[in-house]
Amino acid sequence: MDWTAVRLGRRGAVAVVAAAALGMSACSSSSGTSSTSAAAGGGLPATINVVSINPQTGPAAFAGLAANKGYDLAIKEINDSKFLGSTTLTLSKVDTKGDIKTAASSASTAIADKNVSAIFGSVSSQEAIAMSPLVQQAGLPTIYTQAGSDGVVVGDATYRATPLMRTYYSLVKKYVQEKGWKSVGIIHTAAAPTLVDIGTKALPAIATELGMTVTTTVAVQGTTQDFAAPISQVLASKPDGVAILLVGAQNPTAMKQLRQAGYTGDVLGNSGASAGNLKPAGADGAGMVWPVDFNFQQKAEASQKFVKAYQAANSGENPLNYAAEAYDAAWFLAKSIKAAGSADRAKIKTAMATVASEKFDGALGNGLTWKDRDIVVPGVMIRWDGTGDVLLYEGSAS
């Protein structure tokens, strides 16, 4: 899911101009680690360097910071369990500050540093799109989380440990059937390609499959903050149910205004409503349901093992999907390094293809697979009850 494309857009021209004026340029804290050579060829060295290039400040920091917690936990487990024998994985973190240029230059720095064996790419699509051509050309193994746009997974060096939303959005079928909806009105943001895809293709296709009609579809800009008009248009078409496919802060506002407009039914949403984003809507937020790739309540054994380890490492905090995805990404890399038996980038890249062909259990659930270098997960269906997430049901592994 591409949150940052929207959030950066909402900063507006002012912040962009200011950022340019202040010359928010490259941050290069990644390359200072002393290390064994990543390009040494056979055998695992004592230390293997990995860099996380993610926003730790700025609009997408919520996702970047959570992802880094997932990387930290996985790498600690990998090192503590001596998964790679006496070899230690060392993670450096670079803050992109939500700046595309910084992300690209940090990727270039990592590419130039032969001690870096792989990187964890940015959660931001805009940043990831700038990084991908560089790392692919250099053959530097890169695993992204989030960053749902096209142009991120561009070749054999690039993987994405976040499933494309359309691969698990069909989980809503069961819910819609139970509700007996015969029609649905859709409001979607035009600023996130993933949600445009769901609003204009995936959800209409599901509706057709279930014999439902789409009464109307309204697109809104990423900068839209008041949804009274689009809600009025959708409700005027008298749908049985409403789908709100918006990002971050737009969700509580749309839910509040939907209730104020007199709609009392449930609302199909997306994972942009998760991570407590609906809290500001209070009781008006209750009744939004959405499929997501991970929720801390999901029952798979591997998921619960991750949840407990994460809570222990983070003062009881429940993990978000960003952390779970990052956790699986780090383990995927560790397995690839082990299979390669080397810190050499080319060998790791080759091993990644092999590891990706096998099913595995991870934080995101059981029976996880990779398709076209994107992870595929069963997913879970969530309902917000006004104060927290309620797990409705889980998908099954394909």
Tell me which DSSP letter residue 29 carries. G
Burial class for 26, CB neighbours closer than 10 Å (0-12, 13-18, 19+): middle
Query: By CB under 8 A, is residue 252 in contact with other proteins?
Result: yes
By CB under 8 A, tell whether 284 contacts other proteins.
Answer: yes
Residue 275 touches other proteins, criterion: CB under 8 A: yes
User: In 325-342, which positions are buried (b, 16+ CB within 10 angstroms) versus exposed (e)?
Assistant: bbbbbbbbbbbbbbbbeb
Joined together, the tokens standing for residue 183 give 């029609």
Task: Quote the least distance from Cβ 20 to other proteins, whole Å.
Answer: 10
Find where tokens 């009881």 sit: 316
* Element at 391 (helix H, strand E): strand 389-394
- Told to check if 248 binds other proteins by CB under 8 A, we report yes
Q: Of the candidates 37, 57, 137, 177, which one interacts with other proteins according to CB under 8 A?
A: 57
DSSP assigned state of 187 = E
Among 37, 177, 221, 398, interactor with other proteins by CB under 8 A:
221
What is the C-alpha to C-alpha distance for residues 343 and 339, in angstroms, rounded to an integer? 11
Query: Which residues 16-35 are close enough to bind other proteins by CB under 8 A?
Result: 17-18, 21-22
Least spacing, CB of residue 340 vs other proteins, in Å: 36
Per DSSP, helices labelled H in 81-170 are 100-112, 125-138, 165-168
Is position 105 an interface residue for other proteins (rule: CB under 8 A)? no
The answer to whether residue 10 forms part of the interface with other proteins (CB under 8 A) is: yes
DSSP letter string, 277-321: TTGGGGGGGTTEEEEES--TT---HHHHHHHHHHHHHTTTPPPPH
Q: Which of 135, 218, 302, 330 touches other proteins by CB under 8 A?
A: 218
Identity of the residue, 14 or 86, whose beta carbon is nearer to other proteins in the bound complex: 14
Helix (H, G, I), strand (E, B) or coil at 219: strand
CB-nearer residue toward other proteins: 387 or 398? 387
Shortest reach from residue 206's CB to other proteins, in Å? 20
Closest CB to other proteins among residues 281, 377: 281
Beta carbon nearer to other proteins, 26 or 219:
219
Q: Please tell me whether residue 333 binds other proteins under the rule CB under 8 A.
A: no
Q: Any contact of residue 209 with other proteins (CB under 8 A)?
A: no
Q: How far apart are CA 282 and CA 225, in angstroms?
A: 18
d(CA 352, CA 118): 11
| Residue 88, helix vs strand vs coil | strand
In whole angstroms, how close is the CB of 35 to other proteins at the nearest point?
Answer: 31
Confirm or reject binding of residue 52 to other proteins (CB under 8 A).
Answer: no
Min separation Cβ 227 and other proteins, Å: 9
Binding site for other proteins (CB under 8 A): 7, 10-15, 17-18, 21-22, 57-62, 65, 190, 217-221, 223-226, 228-230, 232-233, 248-249, 252-253, 255-257, 259-262, 275-277, 279-282, 284
